[in-house]
Homo-oligomer: A and B are copies of this chain.
Amino acid sequence: MALIVQKFGGTSVANLDRMHAVAERALRTQREGHEVVVIVSAMAGETNRLLGLAHQVSPVPDMRELDSLASTGEQVSAALVALCVHRLGGEARSLLGHQVQIRTDGAFTKARIRTIDGSKLLETVRRGRVAVVAGFQGVDDEGNITTLGRGGSDTTAVAIAAAIKADVCEIYTDVDGVYTTDPNICPRARKIDRISYEEMLELASLGAKVLQIRSVELAMKYGVPVHVRTSFSDRPGTLVVGEEGLEAVVVSGVAYDKSEAKVQLINVPDRPGVVASIFGTLSKQNVSVDMIIQSPSREGGATTDVTFTVAKTDLARCKELIEQCARQIGGAGIEYDPDIVKVSIVGLGMRSHAGVASRMFEILAGEGINIQAISTSEIKVSCLVHSRYTELAVRALHEGFGLDRAAGAPGEDAAATA
């Protein structure tokens, strides 16, 4: 007998038929001898409907009230899914953030979970009931309702799995797992059977949208096995686990991210403190800078070029700041380029295999793709290229590292040729 957490997103509870299917799956799992905790999101579209009402009232609505408003979406789903379980002859109880005591800090709309009291959940499942928990919500120390921000129900699911020491946290979604790359632009992408938290974290950070970063971090911290799978069939999906027992594949996935824009400061005086002053100003305004490249000095060490990327959504508000900085520094020209993509390869095996990065550069060069910037971590290499090369670069890397072949060893072989 296992203790299983099953999380269903908005499309999986989009209407009563889908909720019925969720209830059926939970009861089937129970009949197989397991204890089941279900976490539900709001019905697809409901959160946006509620927030839309709030924004009709005020362009900058109070965040405490937003959270109380938005949390009703999950409350409705939880009650209806519990009713579906009853309808099928099972027993169930819906449970809300304040009933499970999902305690968070007081940061409305993006609260972080501090503690969860697992006792009510365990009591519920031990009585043979399905516990149906409203995701995305908690309460702060004063009893105010808080919400966890984007992808919050994933976080609820993983945090609850950690609190009750569940055997697995199943995340049901509309895709059937984590892929070696985006199947929409690379038809030969394959589903990954097992992947490490670290790799999943890099893939999520690099634009793969299956799991939210926070929930992966949480799963890694508490060692919760996460099973990403589809709610439309019984096929197993992708298991995200610790790296022990995992074969260290050199490259397990190729990710791409078009959400950034490139900013280039030209002829910046090459003095100590100049670059620091630019990024200091940006970070004070909460603009996150991703890749930073400083070119070698020109004119006998007098000037340099500084290139960096920021989220396109931040670009409008940081343009003015950057121009102000440039004026203060003196003599710098500024160029903006939104037509870029960050293409990345991720793999645990990079730690022990040399030459992976240079193999990546060779593959891109072989396709005539110019690399504008590079950044690396222990288990990933990212290259900034012109956005017109997105599909070409992804497909070439996917094939070049053997990801279109069967899992495991072939990836290593491909890397070994680098």
Q: Which residues of A pack against B, CB within 8 Å?
A: 16, 19-20, 50, 53-54, 56-58, 61-62, 64-66, 68-69, 71-72, 75-76, 78-80, 82-84, 86-87, 93-94, 96, 98-99, 143-145
Contacts and interface: CB of A to CB of B under 8 A. Distances in A.
21 contacts: A16-B56, A50-B76, A53-B76, A54-B80, A57-B84, A58-B83, A58-B86, A61-B86, A62-B86, A65-B79, A65-B80, A65-B86, A65-B94, A68-B75, A68-B79, A69-B75, A69-B76, A69-B83, A72-B75, A96-B145, A99-B143
Contact of A53 (B56, B80, B87): B80
Contact of A16 (B53, B71, B78, B87): B53
Contact of A64 (B56, B65, B93, B96): B93
Identical copies in the complex: 2
B53 A65 contact: no
Contacts of A78: 68
B83 A57 contact: yes
Q: Interface centre among A68, A78, A86, A144, by most B CB within 10 Å?
A: A68
A83 B61 contact: yes
A82 B56 CA distance: 13
A123 to B, nearest CB: 11
Contacts of A72: 72, 75-76
Contacts of A50: 76
| Minimum-distance CB pairs A-B, first 9 | A69-B79, A72-B72, A57-B83, A65-B79, A58-B87, A68-B79, A65-B82, A65-B83, A62-B86
